[in-house]
Structure formats: structure tokens, C-alpha cells
Homo-oligomer: A and B are copies of this chain.
Amino acid sequence: MIDIETKQMMEFANNNPFARALDIEVTHMEQESGRAALEVTVTAKHLNPHGTLHGGVLSTMADIAMGVAVRTLGRVGVTVNLNMNFLAPGNLGEKIIAQGVVVHQGNTLLSTECTITREDHILAQATGLFFVIK
């Protein structure tokens, strides 16, 4: 069961116009855990000219998954660096999951990682640096 505070936190996290435009949904965040998860199901609008999932969708998922992970710690950050390694293509109709985790908390910078998978297959690995604004 998800408690009320976690539910409010998830509603807040899902109140993201660009995530909504891409049908990306925050599915998991737990207070003080430094962890969050997102999902998207690949539809026609998410595709690149090769007919596979666009790297921009994966980059967006990584950015959000890591930013939401930061929020579970009661902190708010803006992304200053995002590094993406694209390892395998995603395809139409697949459910894609991004899992973000905070690796290190400094006073002004937080460091994060994200793994993006489809079933047990890794599609992308990412790292992030967030500058704390509150």
C-alpha cells in the first residue's frame, strides 16, 4: 500500500508537462529512499527515423527518473550534467522502465545513476549531476 505522503509526492512528480506529453508515468518513489521508477509504453510518436525508440525519449526518462529520485530525499535539484550510453534499441509496443538512484549527496551537488530496461534487457545506462536549489 502506498501511504498518503508518497501518493502526494507521486502526483507532484507526475505534474510534469513534458513527461505527460510523452506519456511517461512515475510508478515508484518512496520517501527518503533515493530511488524512483518510471514507465512508458512505446507508441508511434516515440520513434526515430530508424523506426525504433528515439534516444530523446530515453534521455528524458533518465533525467526524470534521477530528478524524482533526488526528490524522495526532500531535496530539489536541476540537472547540470546528463550522460547517456545507448546500448540496445527499444521497439513499438514495448514497456520501458527507467530506475533512478541517488549515488552521492553533497551540500550543493548530488550524483545519480539510471538504468533503463525492457524486460530483463538493458537499453541504456545514464549518470546525472544535480545542483541543489532547495
Give the residues in chain B near A83, CB-CB below 8 Å.
81-84, 127
Knowing A17-B44, A59-B63, A127-B127 touch, does A106 contact B87 (C-beta < 8 A)?
A: yes
Q: Whole-angstrom distance from the CB of A93 to the nearest CB of chain B?
A: 14
Looking at the complex, which one of B13, B46, B48, B80 makes contact with A85 (CB distance below 8 Å)? Answer: B80
**What range describes how many residues of A lie at the interface?**
35 or more
The interface stretch among A2-10, A29-37, A108-116 is A108-116
Chain B residues positioned under 8 Å from A88 (CB to CB): 104, 106
Residue of B nearest to A21 (CB): B45
Distance A129 CA – B78 CA, assembled complex (angstroms) = 14
Interface residues of A in 81-127 (CB under 8 A from B): 81-89, 103-104, 106, 108-109, 111, 113, 122, 125, 127
Q: Which of B60, B86, B103, B111 contacts A56 (CB 8 A)?
A: B60
Contact residue among B54, B60, B125, B131 (Cβ-Cβ distance under 8 Å from A111):
B125
